[in-house]
Amino acid sequence: MSKPKNIWKEFFKDKKHGGHRCSSEGFLAMEAREKLYHLDGGSTLLDFGCGAAELLTYYAQKYEQLVGVDFSQSMLEEASKRIERKKCQNIDLILADHETLWENLDTSFDRITAAGVIQYLTFQEIDAFIVNSSKYLNKGGKIVLFDLLDSRLYPLWKIGLFSRNASCLSILHKIGFEFRTIISASLKNHPKDILGFAHNPYKVEEIANKHGFRMIYVRSMYYEYKYHAIMFRA
Ligand SMILES: C[S@@+](CC[C@H](N)C(=O)[O-])C[C@H]1O[C@@H](n2cnc3c(N)ncnc32)[C@H](O)[C@@H]1O
């Protein structure tokens, strides 16, 4: 039986940006500073789902050797242009997904990270990702997963509860809109939510613990409904 098509591969096949709240260099630099704080050192880094290298090129200023991985050719083309423009000579790019990545690696890393990517994996795929990452993580290394969607907060954000002008009417309107969007996406076999799946941090922590990692989770500074999962060997 042939493998079912990955809807996310299809979705990202012609995308060119990581969908940050703001695409200005000023905002990307702020996001990268927050992430570098949590990455907290090391000299080699793997960025899974690096997209157009919008964060990776900032990480490159602090790491000796970096590898960016993505399954979208168009994203990697943008990444190459950005890397050249920013004259980062310490980044290699690999076209691969969460399954094929590992057979392409010939070295291990101090940090394995991903920003805004883990929500495109199911719990089962996250489990496999952590098992594989642990094989390519240097002693004292960390797996740092940024900007996962918090299943407790994301639905509230979606219906506008955090917005400046939230009212009963606007919330009811948004609930109706979300409902229609989900039905229409299901009928067309499109992703129900382009931001991916929301994962409860405690369930992600269970996976980390199962594989011998301790995990702390912290709120994202720039996205109210996202969190970061920082894993290190117990
Ligand atoms: C929201 S973008 C974030 C890009 C980048 N990390 C950033 O913060 O600018 C998500 C990226 O993950 C990639 N991606 C999603 N699922 C993936 C998978 N299973 N394997 C490889 N790349 C994946 C997409 O192609 C896309 O470039």
Check: CB of residue 120 under 8 Å from CB of residue 196: yes
Joined tokens for residue 36:
């570098």
Residue 80 lies in a domain: yes
- Band (pLDDT 50/70/90 cuts) for residue 183 is confident
Q: pLDDT at position 234, please?
A: 81
Percent of the chain with pLDDT over 70: 98
What's the average model confidence in pLDDT over 16-29?
A: 94
Q: State which amino acid sits at residue 227.
A: Y
Q: pLDDT at position 193, please?
A: 79
**What is the domain count for the chain?**
2
pLDDT beyond 60 at 1: no
Cβ burial of 29 (10 Å; 0-12, 13-18, 19+) is: exposed
Question: Whose C-alpha lies nearest to ligand 1, atom 10?
Answer: 117
Residue 138 lies in a domain: yes
Report DSSP state, residue 42. Answer: -
pLDDT beyond 80 at 18: yes
Candidate of 5, 10, 11, 71 to mutate for ligand 1, largest count of ligand atoms within 8 Å of Cβ: 71
Residue 92 lies in a domain: yes
- Tens digits of residue pLDDT in 195-223: 889 999 999 999 999 999 999 999 999 99
Computed on alpha carbons and rounded to an integer, the radius of gyration of the chain in Å comes to 18
- Residues 207 and 174 both lie in one domain: no
Give the β-pairing of 109-115 and 91-95. unpaired
Q: How many residues does the chain have?
A: 234
What's the average model confidence in pLDDT over 122-140?
A: 97
Residue 2 lies in a domain: no
- Band (pLDDT 50/70/90 cuts) for residue 106 is very high
- Residues 97 and 158 both lie in one domain: no
User: Which pTM value belongs to this model?
Assistant: 0.92
Residue 1 lies in a domain: no
Q: 84-97: buried (b, 16+ CB within 10 Å) or exposed (e) per residue?
A: eeeebeebebbebb
Containing structural domain, residue 47? 7-151+198-233
* Domain CATH code at residue 108: 3.40.50.150
Ligand 1 centroid to residue 49 C-alpha, Å: 3
Ligand 1 centroid to residue 108 C-alpha, Å: 21
Q: pLDDT at position 158, please?
A: 84
Candidate of 20, 39, 70 to mutate for ligand 1, largest count of ligand atoms within 8 Å of Cβ: 70
pLDDT beyond 90 at 172: no
Where does ligand 1 bind, in terms of residues with CB under 6 Å? 8, 12, 18-19, 49-51, 54-55, 70-72, 75, 97-98, 115-117, 120
- Residues 113 and 210 both lie in one domain: yes
Ligand 1 centroid to residue 114 C-alpha, Å: 8
Q: pLDDT at position 186, please?
A: 74
pLDDT beyond 80 at 190: no
What's the average model confidence in pLDDT over 47-60?
A: 98
- Residues 135 and 115 both lie in one domain: yes
Secondary structure of residue 43 in the 3-state scheme = coil
Q: pLDDT at position 3, please?
A: 63
Q: pLDDT at position 127, please?
A: 98
Average pLDDT over the chain, rounded to whole?
A: 93
- Band (pLDDT 50/70/90 cuts) for residue 4 is low
- Band (pLDDT 50/70/90 cuts) for residue 177 is confident
What's the average model confidence in pLDDT over 180-202?
A: 82
Residue 127 vs residue 167, higher pLDDT? 127
- Tens digits of residue pLDDT in 59-81: 999 999 999 999 999 999 999 99
